[in-house]
Amino acid sequence: MIKNCAKYIFLCVILHAQLSYTQLQLPVYSDYLTENYFLVHPAMAGAQLEGLQVRMTHRSQWKGVTNAPNLQTVNAHGRIGLKSGLGTVLYNDNNGFHKQTGLSFAYAHHLNLILGNRDIHQLSFGLSVGIINNTHDQTQFAPDLGDPLLEGSQVKSNGFHMDLGLTYMRYQFYTHLTVRSLIFKGHNISDNIRLDKSKKVILNMGHFFEFNDNTLFEPSAMIQFVEYADLPAIDLNLKSHHLIRNQKLWFGASYRFGAQPNANVDVENNLNQTHRQLTLLSGLKFGKFSASYSYTQSFEDIQIAPFNSHQLTLGFDLFSDKFRYFPVRGML
C-alpha cells in the first residue's frame, strides 16, 4: 500500500511537470559546436561547402535513470548552384512518457560580395518549414493503481512551424541570427498537455584566430532570447583546431548560464530559473569522415536526477571536401 502510494505521488509529480507544457521543436544543446550550425540556423544550408554535409547525433541524459531523456538527429545540407542551399533535419526526442518527432526543410540564398581582390563577404538568408508530431503514452501510467486519470491510450497532436534566419561571414568572423517559431500552427495534445508556442531568437557570433600554421583558436558565443523569460540563456565557448599530418583534431569547452531554454515551459517556474552547465567536447576529422564526443554536466540548486549527458556525433562530407568561402581554408 505504501509502495503504491509513493508510486502514485511520483507519477503525479511527473505528470504535472510534463503535462503542463510540451516543448515545440528541436532543443538547442551543444550540437552546433560540432561543425553543425545548420541544426540551429537555416541560413547555414549550403553556406560553407560544395557537396553534401551529413551529421548524425545521439544524446543520452541522466545515466542510470529509467526513461531518461534521449535525442537523435539526422541532418543534411549542401550547396545548389552558386547562390542556393538546401537542407533537411529529422529528429526524435524522447522524454519519459512523451515523444516528439520532427521533420523540417530549409532553403537558403547566399549573396557573395567581393570587395577588391581579397575582401570576401557572404550574406545568407534562410527559411525553414517543418512539421512535428507529439505522442504522450498514457498506457504505462501505473494501471495497477486503479486510477482512471493514470490509465489511457496514446494521445497525439501535430503542428507546423516556420523559422527565419540570417548569416554573415567575412574571413575569420561569422554571425548567425534565427527566429524560431515565427509562425506556428497546431493544437494542444489535451487540456492538460499544451504545446509551448513561445518564440525564440538565437544569436551566434565567433571569430577564428591563427596561432600558427597548424593551430587556430575559435572563441564564440550564443545568446538565446526566449519569449516570456526574464533572462536570456548565454553560451560562452572556446575551441582549438589542430592540423596534424593532414588530419584535423579539435577540443572545446562551453559554459551556459541564464534561463533554461530547453525547459518545458511553465512560464513562472521553469523559464526564469537560473541554469548553469559546462560542456567539454572533442572531435576528429579524417578525410571526409568526422566524429565528436561531448559531455555536459549541469549545476542546479535542486537536483532530482544526475543532470549529465553524453553526446556522440558522426559526420560525412560527400562529393567534395572543399569549403566555399570559408574564412580559414585548409583547416576546417
pLDDT of residue 274 exceeding 80, the answer is no
Model pLDDT, residue 331: 38
Weakest mean pLDDT among 23-32, 89-98, 139-148:
139-148
| Domain-embedded: residue 115 | yes
CA 296, CA 70: separation in Å to the nearest integer? 13
User: Does residue 327 fall inside a structural domain?
Assistant: no
CATH number of the structural domain spanning residue 212: 2.40.160.40
177 band by pLDDT with thresholds 50, 70 and 90: very high
Q: Which of 57, 124, 13 is nearest to 294 (CA)?
A: 57
CB 174, CB 206: distance < 8 Å: yes
Total tally of structural domains belonging to the chain: 1
pLDDT at 13 (0 to 100): 43
Tell me, yes or no, whether 161 lies in a domain. yes
Instruction: With respect to residue 90, please indicate whether it lies within any of the assigned structural domains.
Output: yes
Interval 122-154: pLDDT, tens: 899 999 999 998 887 767 655 555 555 555 667
Q: Quick one: which of 255, 250, 230, 249 has its CA closest to 239?
A: 250
What is the SS3 string spanning 208-239?
Answer: CEEEECCEEEEEEEEEEEECCCCCCEEEEEEE
Cell numbers at 29, concatenated: 544543446
**Domain hosting residue 267, numbered range:** 2-318
> In this predicted structure, what is the pLDDT of residue 152?
62
Phi, psi of 31 (to 5 degrees): -55, -40
Percent of the chain with pLDDT over 90: 43
